[in-house]
Structures are given as structure tokens and as C-alpha cells.
Amino acid sequence: MFEKYTAPTAGEKITIENGKLNVPNNPIIPFIEGDGTGPDIWNASVRVFEAAVEKAYKGDKKIEWFEVLAGEKAFNQTGEWLPNDTLTAFREFLVGIKGPLTTPVGGGIRSLNVALRQELDLFACVRPVRYFNGVPSPVKHPELVDMVIFRENSEDIYAGIEYAEGTDEVKKLISFLREEMGAKKIRFPETSGIGIKPVSKEGTERLVRAALDYTIQQNRKSLTLVHKGNIMKFTEGAFKNWGYEVAEREYADKVFTWAQYDRIKDAEGTAAANQAQADAEAAGKIIVKDVIADAFLQQILTRPAEYDVIATLNLNGDYISDALAAQVGGIGIAPGANINYVTGHAVFEATHGTAPKYAGLDKVNPGSVILSGVMMFEFLGWQEAADLIVNALEKAIDQKTVTYDFARLMEGATEVKCSEFADALIKNL
């Protein structure tokens, strides 16, 4: 199966049958340590995972970790940034976890993080954002933020269809656009680079389905489609339209959409539309609504309680993730998962990057990867281990035993290192 790696001899594979995961008591889970602060964070996080599993299951369950390479460590050891074996491991063992990987800006290799998502078709990037009591925040009511972002993870400008200024490719594309497509508004055709933004109906529908299934399972109240459809009509605007259509077509008895609201309003007036929405809410239906991305970014600050589950395109989701994370205390406790709900493939990872200036200092907050592990345990159905970790984290914050990012904003805090924060959590389990 592998060209160069040797899989652990102990442990079994997680499999999927009829859409349901079969998780053995000793699953093999591939992990990527990550670049920059990745090794510090991984070493801290894995100790918390092991201690939580041991405490929850007293030896009945155990993870067989399988290190796979990507990024700088892979390049230094194999000459490849993302060896085939690494992809094979994630394909074969279904569920994995990773630290952040560096992407150079303005040139060099394309994102390995994005490549992994695309290669494994992990179409939903799921990033829950909630407040933990006591965490320092720049806003007055961070506790009102309780959202789960479903970011489309396989399309949009992240598809990497981009041509650099001055190249033969860009010249060819620009002349095609101007001469054959009638594009008259490329302001500086001689010196433009061009990026292309594919957004499809299938891609939108599977993302919105995943978000709606989650909204239903978790008894959440609304799903908001966030888009910039006023400007990018056939990509972002189409995302909104396709989102409403799939919601109405496939979840008719469970949702009430603002598209329905508008139709009732046009036919019968505002009072009738308001009544229809009120009736739907009273019947426990999920309200599917939409908002333009710039307005959304101001409303998450002014009216966060109005937003619940969010479905959005790739770039919007990237921006929104960091903005919302900041609102509840920062990127140090912002977890995430990249999931294909059909094949069961999932790779869990923090929202933040490699934070290179802190690499090797044993300093940063491992909370995001630790909470990504919590999401992984929940995905596996190991809720007891997940709950133990969340309680331990809440206790550590309550005790004001925190890493630098929280300590610098908290009065009376004890600043601990990345590894010591893991120690504190393990003590609190």
C-alpha cells in the first residue's frame, strides 16, 4: 500500500459502511506534526488526547498514532512537500489530524493544506466558534457568539487557477477574454495577473446539505448563506440561489427560507410573509436566510446572537473564521475539521497557521489543535474523551492558567508554556 512508509502493526482501520463509521477500539490515526509552531503544539496536544482516552476508557480504547509527513519535515526527509504515502494514509485510514503547514506568499509552492483538502475531496471545512467563560475578548458580549461555519472547501479561488502577470498564459487568457468574450473592463491588460473563481451547483449543494443536516441534528435554529452575490452574481449569487433551492427541494418540511418569505411578500404582502415566518418558527422549522458578506462582518460584531450555522464559500469562510475566532478570544482556541460526509474522510486541524515567529519557543496556545482533537473524538463517537478535554480546558481558563495570548489580556493570570498548558489540562481531566 505504501511506497516508503510502514503503517503501525498494532491497531485497526476505521471504515465506513452505508454512511456509518465503524470505529475500532484501537484505530490507526495518521497525523502531520506541522511546520513552525506545529511540533510544539502537536507534542502538547497528543499528550492531552492520550490522557483523556485513558481516563475515559481505562485501557479499553487506545489510538495507534501514525506519523505521516508533509511540509518542511517531508521536504527535508524525502525531497517532496506532500508525499503520495501521506495521501494514501489519509485515504486508507479515513480520519486524521494535522498541524499547520506553511504556504509561501506570492510565489513558491501552492498551499499543502488546500492540496490535502482537494486531493481527499474534504468539501466541508467546519469551524465551530463559541465562547469559553473567562477568555479575554475585544467585544462586550463574546458569549453571544455561538456559530458553526461550514466553509466550502474544494472550489472558489482556492482551486488555484491563477496566471501571473507577464506570462504567455495570462496574455493568452486576457486576449481570449477581450477578443472572444467581449470583456472590456480589464483596466490594465498589459500588467494584470488573472485568478479564476469556479463555483458549482454540485459543490454548493453538498456543502449546504452538510450544513443543514448539522443544523437539524444539533437542533440549531437557523442557517445563513453568506455571499457577495451582489457583485459576483454567477458565483457568489448563484451560491445563494442554489443554497435556497436545495433547502426547499430536499428539506421542505424542515425549513422556511427567506426566498419563500420574498415570494409570499410579493404575492400577499409583508404581513402575510411575517406571519408565515412566525408560523414556521413556532413549528420548529429552521430559518434559512442569507446576508451579503460585508454586512455579515459588521453584524457579527453588532448582532451576533442572530447568527447560528453559517454556510459560505471558501474565501469568505477563511476570512470569517479568523474574524469570529478573534471575537471569542483569538485564534489560539479555534478548532476545525475538513470533512467529506459521503466518504467519511476527515482531517482535523486548527484554524490558525504556523505562527512562525514563535516556532520552537514552546509558547503558543495548543488549544486550537486540542479542540480539533475534541471534534475528532466527537466524529468517532468518543464523546466521553471529548467532554473530559472540554471540561479540563474550561477549568484551566477558570484557574487563569493560560498561554501568553490569553495571559497578556487577563488580569491575575499565570502564563504557562505550551507544554505546561497541556500539563494543566491533563491534571484537570
Ligand X SMILES: O=C(O)CCC(=O)C(=O)O
Ligand Y SMILES: NC(=O)C1=CN([C@@H]2O[C@H](COP(=O)(O)OP(=O)(O)OC[C@H]3O[C@@H](n4cnc5c(N)ncnc54)[C@H](OP(=O)(O)O)[C@@H]3O)[C@@H](O)[C@H]2O)C=CC1
Stretches 25-33, 113-121, 151-159, 316-324: which one binds Mg ion (CB under 5 A)? 316-324
Neighbours of 187 (CB within 10 A): 6
The answer to the question of whether 354 is labelled as a binding residue is: yes
Does position 156 interact with Mg ion (CB under 5 A)? The reply is no
| Per-residue mark of binding to ligand X, 308-327 (x: CB under 6 A) | ----------x--x------
331 binds ligand Y (CB under 6 A): yes
Query: Which of 20, 294, 398, 427 is labelled catalytic?
Result: 294
Instruction: Answer yes or no whether residue 365 interacts with ligand Y by CB under 6 A.
Output: yes
Which segment (48-56, 273-281, 361-369, 375-383) binds ligand Y by CB under 6 A?
361-369
CA nearest neighbour of 215 among 255, 259, 260, 243: 255
Strand, helix or coil for residue 429: coil
Q: Which residues contact 310 (CB under 8 A, 6 or more apart)?
A: 147, 148, 149, 150, 211, 223, 224, 226, 317, 320
Between helices 367-380 and 38-57, what is the axis angle to 10°?
40
The mark string for 261-300 relative to Mg ion (x by CB under 5 A, - otherwise) is: ----------------------------------------
Site for ligand X in 329-368 (CB under 6 A): 351, 353
Q: Which contacts (CB < 8 Å, 24+ apart) does range 137-144 have?
A: 137/327, 137/328, 137/329, 138/326, 138/327, 139/301, 139/327, 141/304, 142/327, 142/328, 142/329, 144/304, 144/305
329 binds ligand Y (CB under 6 A): no
Binding mask 138-177 for ligand Y (x = CB under 6 A): ----------------------------------------
Residue 211: left if φ>0, alpha if ψ -120 to 50, beta else—which one? alpha
405 is known as an active-site residue = no
158 is catalytic: yes
Between 86 and 113, name the residue whose CB sits nearer to ligand X: 113
Using CB atoms within 10 A of its CB, is residue 307 exposed (0-12), middle (13-18) or buried (19+)?
buried
- Applying CB under 6 A, the residues found at the interface with ligand Y are 100-103, 113, 331-332, 349, 352-356, 364-365, 368, 405
- Applying CB under 5 A, the residues found at the interface with Mg ion are 318
Residue list for the binding site for NADP(+): 102, 352-358, 365, 404, 408
